[in-house]
Amino acid sequence: MVWRVFLQFLYLGCVSFGGPAAHIGYFRKVFVEQKSWLNEQEFAADLALCQFLPGPSSSQLGYAIACRRGGIPAGIAAFLGFTLPSFLLMYGLAVWQLNIAEGTLQFGIVSGLKLLAVAVVADAVWGMANQFCRQALTIILAVLSTAVLTWAMTPLWQFSLMALAAAVMAWRAEPAQNLVGIKTDRILLTCLTVFVLLFATCLIFPTGIFAIFYQAGSLVFGGGHVVLPLLEPLVGEAMSKDQFLLGYAAAQAVPGPMFSFSAYLGAAINPNAALSYALIATTAVFAPGFLLLSGFRGIWQQLSTRPRIVAAIAGVNAVAVGMLAAAWINPVASSAPHDWFALLLAVVGLIALRSKRVPIMVIIVVFAVCGAALY
């Protein structure tokens, strides 16, 4: 059973292009319509929980589906299978980019991909704003977060804004009627204890490779793109902005989870121990989401009916929009080429992404070719 789950998700990890939204569509088609591993109601419940928690929602959804099929061992097999192809591709890119010199063909391709990052992040901000900023208060929180984090993109400000937004939104929400206590179990308590102990250890010793990526994975609400503003200030001193943006742009091109970006960053941070650092970074960034998912699966039905909890997460998601908007301003847009053709290409790329009619691989090839020809 576990081996079959691994192979099924390995196949999906090789063909699932298009980001988290596309991954969810693939999972529904394969596991609900074709294989009947779960029904529509179970799929919707698992998806809602994964979008509620921090972490990579599509990878968490695959984990939850596999756990229904064969327990936690099957869930781990699903994660390994779905992540392995993108991990290998991003690790290989990190090793290759160490030899890029200005004026070479590779440098031009990198410049084109940096322009692609401008379009991709703008598209992500647009989409997330439409989804998470539909009330006046959430719009205000997103704009405030953008302003503050453009001025100071630090983990302290990020966490403070998330906590403030959650508190404000929860305070304004209507209290639940006929409230009953939440029934906890041993699995929830164990997972929460491990999560909190690891997070506290990372705060005490914040500079290690595991600590950097575990903190980021603990705070990624609103989608995989939010990992960009969370990781950039944490790894900024260990690599150049060009290296960072190359990896982010490339993460759009590979199948599987966007969190595989962490494999690239880990390898680039320490080229002398590239593989071990890539493995540690990838494990650390995925771990918080999977710990919380494993714990909260049993009580999600109780939590999903509490308006103040739902409102608090809505506030955090609004801040996530502001974080990504601030990251678009700096380092994404500020580090890209600034000539008139670069602006035109970025606008055309954004239009193509918003239309959802042009395959992402076509867009990537066009940007890479234009970069190689012009830069």
The Cα–Cα gap between 92 and 62 comes to 25
- Please name the helix (run of DSSP H) or strand (run of DSSP E) that holds residue 297, with its range, or none: none
User: C-alpha distances in angstroms, 156 versus 167, 219, 234, 324, 368?
Assistant: 17, 12, 11, 16, 36
The Cα–Cα gap between 289 and 226 comes to 14
Give the number of C-alpha atoms closer than 13 A to the C-alpha of residue 124, restricted to the C-beta side: 33
The Cα–Cα gap between 177 and 19 comes to 38
Question: Tokens standing for 136?
Answer: 């006046």
Per-residue pLDDT at 156:
77
With beta carbons less than 8 A apart as the criterion, state whether 264 and 250 touch.
yes
The Cα–Cα gap between 156 and 154 comes to 5
Closest CA to 65 of 100, 39, 95, 102: 39
The Cα–Cα gap between 32 and 65 comes to 10
Angle between helices 227-235 and 307-327 (to 10 degrees): 60
The Cα–Cα gap between 371 and 316 comes to 36
Question: Tokens standing for 80?
Answer: 């390994």
Angle between helices 40-52 and 57-97 (to 10 degrees): 60
Dihedral (CA of 95, 288, 162, 234) sign? negative
The identity of residue 153, as a single letter, is: M
- Backbone φ and ψ of 18, nearest 5°: 110, 0
Angle between helices 274-296 and 186-204 (to 10 degrees): 140
Cis peptide before 56 (omega within 30 of 0): no
Residue 174 is classified by DSSP as P
Dihedral (CA of 101, 104, 105, 109) sign? positive
User: C-alpha distances in angstroms, 114 versus 212, 247, 260, 310, 339?
Assistant: 24, 9, 18, 36, 13
Q: What Rg, from alpha-carbon coordinates, does the chain have? A: 20
The Cα–Cα gap between 5 and 61 comes to 14
CA 200: distance to chain centroid? Answer: 22
Tell me the mean pLDDT per 10 residues along the chain, length 375. Answer: 92 80 80 88 81 84 91 93 94 77 63 79 83 90 92 79 89 69 75 94 88 88 69 73 79 83 91 93 94 86 74 84 84 76 88 84 84 77
With beta carbons less than 8 A apart as the criterion, state whether 231 and 260 touch.
no
With beta carbons less than 8 A apart as the criterion, state whether 32 and 18 touch.
no
> What count of other Cβ atoms lies within 10 Å of the Cβ of residue 167?
12
The Cα–Cα gap between 181 and 28 comes to 33
With beta carbons less than 8 A apart as the criterion, state whether 111 and 375 touch.
yes
